[in-house]
Structure 1
Amino acid sequence: MNTEYLMGEGSSAQRSVLPNGIRVITETMPALESETVGIWVDSGSRDEAQPAAGSTHFLEHMLFKGTPTRSARQIAEAFDRTGGDSNAVTSKEYTCYYSRCLVDDVPMITELLWDMVLRSKLDESEFERERGVIVEELAMAADDPVDVLYEAFDALVYRDHPLGRPVGATREQIRALEHSTLLDHYSHDYVGPRLVFAAAGGASHDEVVSLVDRATRQLPEVGPDSGRQLRPHRAVPEFAGGVETIRKDTEQQGIIFGVPGLPEGHPDRFVLTVLFALLGGGMSSRLFQTIREERGLAYTVHSIAGRYTDSGQFGIYAGTSPGSAQQVVDLVIDEFALVASEVPGEAEIADIVAQVAGATILGLESSAARMNRLAHAELSRIPLESPHDLLQQVRNVTPEHVTKLAARLFSGPHALATVGPSTSLVLPG
């Protein structure tokens, strides 16, 4: 078994690869009595073939429905008994099953998670019952104008690319999904080299590795390069501009204006973080002050960003009255254009850098945040940086860096998605 330190010799983050190809990544936080653990699958909705649309999210539901030794109720009771937080999430590039618990409960939770992930029964009658649950979940999302807006924006900018599809697919696709397709997905994706176990908290690396090894010995040994060979080819998307309008009888008009962003691991990602905060990252941000405080046009206005292994998006979300919507769009674009053409003042960027630096360190006091960053770095195949290095990267950002990046992003395609009563919004110019 190969073990290495991830942030230099003697660091608190370590990585081991078991003979079955499972990667175990931990960060020890000695003062904590708790631990956040998660099994991450290197597979998301963008990896689905069209006939299998929705199978990644459907499978996430099914793994809570029982194993040969545990019923669905027993799984739920075991999680609840710890008093912590347990759940699962499906994204466009990965699936995760996680739990936060006391260090004393880590052995039980680790065995429980692996029992679910490796020995799920995937019973066909449960599959049919859960089909109805997922259709209702999608119906609930369809009633939420914010969910509809974000899905409309992705569909607009990624068009026919898999990143443009909803993670959970459509209700029609779920109704058509076959049980055999789900089984094929499970057997192909839930294999050693595509599985990562990430943990952060009071437990030691050796203890966690031993627990994972004991729980996964049923898997066959694999070669060291199998993980890279097993991920399917992912076609790189192109960001498309334009306007997508969905009419919905709501009190507010939801708006997303966006431009191409940066992929995970891009060298300018820290500059983007500062730009994010400058335009819409808090109460003192330019757009919050301009749109909410000075003009009273919106309750909520903030930056958004999506990062994938090979692409990204950056933009602004706002909710406003239909009659003010075009004015808000114009103000967003004017402010973005200003940052792209005029270098901000040193004092303004210094304040933003201090804000981002503080948020970075405060965020790392959470075991869940540390577990997430361990897994994201592993799945994205980018180096894990120490808190000191993260701070230094943020503090190295200058006003000129911000304007240069803003100009580059703003020069790309512009996209506008909107949901609400108004159907007349346009992109200026």
Structure 2
Amino acid sequence: MINKITCNNGLRIVSEHIPHVRSVAVGIWVHAGSRYELPEENGLTHFIEHMLFKGTKTRSARQIAEEFDRIGGNINAFTSKENTCYYAKVLDHHAPYAVEVLADMFFNSLFDPTELEKERQVVLEEINMVEDTPDDIVHEYLWKAMFGDDPLGAPILGTLETLNSFTPDSIVSYMERHYTPENVVISVAGNIQEGFLEHIEKLFGDFELPSRVATEKSVPEITAAFTEKFRETEQGHICFGYPGLSANSDNIYSLVVLNSILGGSMSSRLFQEIREEKGLAYSIYSYHSSYEDTGVLAIYGGTSSSQLEELKTSIQETIRLIEEKGFTETEIQNSKEQLKGNLMLGLESTNARMSRNGKNELLYGSHRSLDEVIESIDEVTLASVTALSKEIFSHEPAISIIMPKKVDQ
């Protein structure tokens, strides 16, 4: 059962008590992601995530790391297009101390100019690492092709130009716009001890920030653009992108089933037809990314440059056969059972429970039980998946390709 406390300042605390485990996972979820950045701020959300680990008024960056090692816990963070999360997982009796450290980072980070310069170099190396990983960067190129100049098309990490412009003042200004109580959810899952939620409320329930107008997000248009890059790489990489569904769409579970059949599992069409039957690729899959007001159904494949055109044609042929012949009832049922299994198995850790509850509260303000989710999966039909596939694949896809450099290039 999910319990919810709304503090006087509007901050929400959601908790799920799991008495049979010995751990507690705590996450600070902030409704701030790269799509809320101004063009000159691109990458700032992610940079702030890094800077919260770089020292507070009472703890150095080294002390933050050592204190979690000392209690045998883990601490980390991530930034997405729409959210940022700072989280920790510890033994249940260490949970009060862990949340005190998280609160210290959240409220008392110094943004020291010396540490900022060092972390700027760290993030630059992170950008370089992604640039050197073609099977990662090809997805960034796809998002740029689909969303153009909209913030959804910009990289979460930012660019060298924007990264070099960040200052302590720009960090504080951004946080005053976005790190506000109504934009924050504290999610807790695990063996919650008596008084722990009150402890969190005491730490987070009174903070306020100067009232500033947050950056408005736009409703992006999706375009079927084509982009091709030449890189020093052994393989060619290709991504197709089709308009998908928003996270709160009534038809989202039909899309989940569709993706599973298309390329979301080892028995999927793409995996069986392109890898197993034709041997064209080691890595071939599809996935969907859903946001508050839009979404993408994407397909990725990687192969040698000599086979890239055949891979592209084979992916298009798989889509064409789906459009012409649809799916089978067996595929629908197998996919639904696989999804239910993945859902249940995926929620066996306190981290997974904390993440699910934090996102649900942040995005929807409500929580569906596992039984309700399974019921929604069971309600998916062959007709609903077929109709959705016809709608999605009626659009021309955006395509991004990375090709190995030729000798004379």
For the residues of structure 1 that align with 2:303 and 2:402, how far apart are their CA atoms? 11
Residue 26 of structure 2 contacts residue 354 of structure 2 at CA under 8 Å; is this kept in 1?
Answer: yes
Q: Report the RMSD for the aligned CA atoms in angstroms.
A: 1.9
Residue 280 of structure 1 contacts residue 302 of structure 1 at CA under 8 Å; is this kept in 2?
Answer: yes
User: Aligned residue pairs: how many?
Assistant: 406
Q: Are 1:364 and 2:328 matched, yes or no?
A: no
Q: Are 1:345 and 2:345 matched, yes or no?
A: no
Q: Are 1:151 and 2:134 matched, yes or no?
A: no
Could you tell me which residue of structure 1 aligns to residue 89 of structure 2? 100
Could you tell me which residue of structure 2 aligns to residue 69 of structure 1? 58
Aligned equivalent of 1:133, options 117, 122, 128: 122
Greater Cα offset, 185-194 or 389-398: 185-194
Aligned equivalent of 2:5, options 13, 16, 25: 16
For the residues of structure 1 that align with 2:205 and 2:379, how far apart are their CA atoms? 46
Residue 343 of structure 1 contacts residue 400 of structure 1 at CA under 8 Å; is this kept in 2?
Answer: no
Instruction: Report the CA distance between 1:36 and its aligned residue.
Output: 1.2
Instruction: Report the CA distance between 1:395 and its aligned residue.
Output: 1.3
Letter paired with 2:138: L
Residue 177 of structure 2 contacts residue 214 of structure 2 at CA under 8 Å; is this kept in 1?
Answer: no
For the residues of structure 1 that align with 2:70 and 2:388, how far apart are their CA atoms? 49
Q: Percent identity, please.
A: 37
Structure 1: segments with no counterpart, 5+ residues: 1-11, 424-429
Aligned equivalent of 1:316, options 289, 299, 308: 299
Could you tell me which residue of structure 1 aligns to residue 374 of structure 2? 391
Instruction: Report the CA distance between 1:382 and its aligned residue.
Output: 5.4
Instruction: Report the CA distance between 1:17 and its aligned residue.
Output: 0.8
Could you tell me which residue of structure 1 aligns to residue 183 of structure 2? 194
Letter paired with 2:83: Y
Structure 1 length as normaliser, TM-score? 0.90
Q: Are 1:55 and 2:44 matched, yes or no?
A: yes
Q: Are 1:213 and 2:201 matched, yes or no?
A: yes
Instruction: Report the CA distance between 1:364 and its aligned residue.
Output: 1.6
For the residues of structure 2 that align with 1:30 and 1:230, how far apart are their CA atoms? 42
Could you tell me which residue of structure 2 aligns to residue 176 of structure 1? 165
Structure 2 residue matching 1:298: 3-state secondary structure: coil
Letter paired with 1:262: L
Structure 2: segments with no counterpart, 5+ residues: none
Instruction: Report the CA distance between 1:230 and its aligned residue.
Output: 6.3
Residue 13 of structure 1 contacts residue 26 of structure 1 at CA under 8 Å; is this kept in 2?
Answer: yes
Q: How does 1:274-313 map to 2 (within 5 A)?
A: 274-313=257-296
- Cα shift readout 1:44-63 (whole Å, capped 9, x = no counterpart): 11111122222111111111
Structure 1 residue matching 2:282: 3-state secondary structure: strand
For the residues of structure 2 that align with 1:54 and 1:319, how far apart are their CA atoms? 28
Instruction: Report the CA distance between 1:411 and its aligned residue.
Output: 1.2
- Cα shift readout 1:96-142 (whole Å, capped 9, x = no counterpart): 10011111111011111011011111112211221111112211111
Letter paired with 2:227: E
For the residues of structure 2 that align with 1:97 and 1:232, how far apart are their CA atoms? 21
Structure 2 residue matching 1:404: 3-state secondary structure: helix
Letter paired with 1:126: E
Greater Cα offset, 18-27 or 172-181: 172-181
For the residues of structure 2 that align with 1:231 and 1:192, how far apart are their CA atoms? 13
For the residues of structure 2 that align with 1:345 and 1:54, how far apart are their CA atoms? 44
Residue 340 of structure 1 contacts residue 405 of structure 1 at CA under 8 Å; is this kept in 2?
Answer: no
Instruction: Report the CA distance between 1:29 and its aligned residue.
Output: 1.6
Residue 180 of structure 2 contacts residue 208 of structure 2 at CA under 8 Å; is this kept in 1?
Answer: no
Letter paired with 1:376: K
Letter paired with 2:201: D
| Structure 2 CA distance for partners of 1:136 and 1:238, relative to 1, 3 Å | same
Residue 194 of structure 1 contacts residue 231 of structure 1 at CA under 8 Å; is this kept in 2?
Answer: no
